[in-house]
Structure 1
Amino acid sequence: MPIDATLPYDPDNIFARILRGEIPSKRVYEDAHAIAFHDINPQAPHHILVIPRGPYVSWDDFSANASEAEIAGFVRAVGAVAREAGFVEPGYRLLANTGMDSGQEVPHLHVHIFAGARLGPMLAR
């Protein structure tokens, strides 16, 4: 069920629990600002999620409230994950849903990295 990105952060959301180690994940990257792991329900041949360590509901919340170091560290982490996974050539797609109309399901900022196939148009027509 999509969430309202204006809601307060829920510390019991699945990604917060993954950050605390309460739920296992197949991690592929970890640093002071972010972790990345394989999506358990992949939507492309390669589907990795990157989440910040801080408690941010959405891209809007993160961009308005995170520190400069958190923002720079997270953006760099997304790029590092894509490079380390070998996605730069032939290409990959980034997706970050914000709010109900986008279909955001987990109230913790997360960026999807999709790769491994021609991904087609950005939106279904």
Structure 2
Amino acid sequence: MADCVFCGIVAGDLPAFRVTDEPDGVAFLDTRPVFPGHVLVVPRPHLVTLGDLPAAALPGYFALVQRVALAVESGLGAGGTFVAMNNKVSQSVPHLHTHVVPRTRGDGLRGFFWPRRRYADDAEATDHAARITAALA
């Protein structure tokens, strides 16, 4: 897609600090990292959300995400990683991408970036679980 920043990076038309460029995707440093070494992994074709990624591409794409996460840990001496993906809401670039953020104990990152709540009761939780289960069918 001509006006997509990530498509421009994949095509080599826009600069990026590439980590890897493979048939299953391209990984490069986020220009506004949570912590240094924050990597974005994107599939080569222009896809907007996880739902747009063909089922046949899932194993290759997520194997790449897994390898990048392990490389972030070993390459940076990180204690672990935070791996996340936004779909539509909070997706600053409308091209599917997975964040791989290096983590260390005491790095100051606390949970998720939005307020959390408890279910009112078990019935509310059961209802939500049942609705999601039904949608999987």
Alignment TM-score > 0.5, same fold: yes
* CA distance in structure 2 between the aligned counterparts of 1:85 and 1:49, rounded to whole angstroms: 11
After superposing on structure 2, the runs of 4+ consecutive aligned residues of structure 1 that deviate more than 6 Å are none
Measure the CA separation in 2 of the matches of 1:67 and 1:43. Answer: 30
Note the residue ranges of structure 2 that are not aligned, 5 or more in a row.
116-137
Alignment partners' CA distance in 1, 2:46 and 2:113:
29
Which letter maps to 2:86?
N
Counterpart-to-counterpart distance in 1, 2:50 and 2:35: 22
* Structure number with bigger Rg: 2
Q: Which runs of 5+ in 1 are unaligned?
A: 1-9
Where does 1:1-125 land on structure 2 (aligned, <5 Å)? 10-62=1-53, 66-68=54-56, 70-86=57-73, 90-99=79-88, 102-117=89-104, 118=107, 119-125=109-115
Q: Which has the higher helix share?
A: 2
Q: Deviation string for 1:57-93 (max 9, x for gaps)?
A: 111222xxx141x211100000111112225962111
Identity of aligned residues (%): 30
Provide the TM-score with structure 2 as the length reference: 0.72
